[in-house]
Amino acid sequence: MPLHKERKAELVAALVELLQESDGFAVVRTQGLPVTRIEALRGKIREAGGQYFVAKNSLLSKALEQVGWVVPSEQLVGPTAIAFGKREFPAVAKALLEFVKTEALDAEKFAAVGGVMSGKDVLTLSRLEAVSNLPTLDEIRAQLAGIIVTPATGLVTVLDAANGQIVNVIQALLDDKKAS
């Protein structure tokens, strides 16, 4: 059933909004996948901080052009869906690829094919897999906190040991004076 001009404009506007909130997206080829599995995937992507959206390739291309993102036209062939990463694209890519792997889906019915990161980098499937292995923002924050805290902990240990040694020296002096 063809879409009316107003509905197409609404869908393009929704896609533009998603792109403006995103740091990347993955392109998924879908055909004949049961709704229950699609809903399970939507949940996994939502948990990872993203959104799963089914769109006509022509409307997605228009939205990409409007926001100045590169159009991966070689990936936008046939029935596709998009997994948007809302400021956590590596986590969304990881959730998508893990879903494909754990569900053992037929590649003819469902397959990740690539995507776009930061609006300008077209990702092949292998690059999408590499992105999925990147740490998330929370993991990076935890690593940075560990890097910052470790030297401080060492410094406190050294200062505490130095204080203990000063107390021992003073105690030895006091004991020496008492003995004399």
Mean pLDDT lowest among 7-21, 38-52, 100-114? 100-114
Beta strand extents in 89-136 (DSSP E only):
110-117, 121-123
Mean pLDDT for 36-58 is 91
pLDDT-derived band at 155, boundaries 50, 70, 90: low
Give CA–CA dist 135/118, Å, rounded.
16
Give CA–CA dist 88/48, Å, rounded.
7
Q: pLDDT tens for residues 78-100?
A: 888 999 998 789 999 999 999 88
Reply yes or no on whether the pLDDT at 159 is more than 70. Answer: no
74 near 124, Cβ under 8 Å? no
Q: How far is CA 72 from CA 1, 11, 137, 140, in A?
A: 26, 19, 26, 29
Q: What is the mean pLDDT of the chain?
A: 84
Q: What is the side-by-side strand order in the sheet with 121-123? A: 50-54, 80-85, 24-30, 110-117, 121-123
DSSP for 151-163 reads: HHHHHHHHHHHHH
Beta bridge mates, 30: 110
pLDDT at res. 96: 92
pLDDT-derived band at 46, boundaries 50, 70, 90: very high
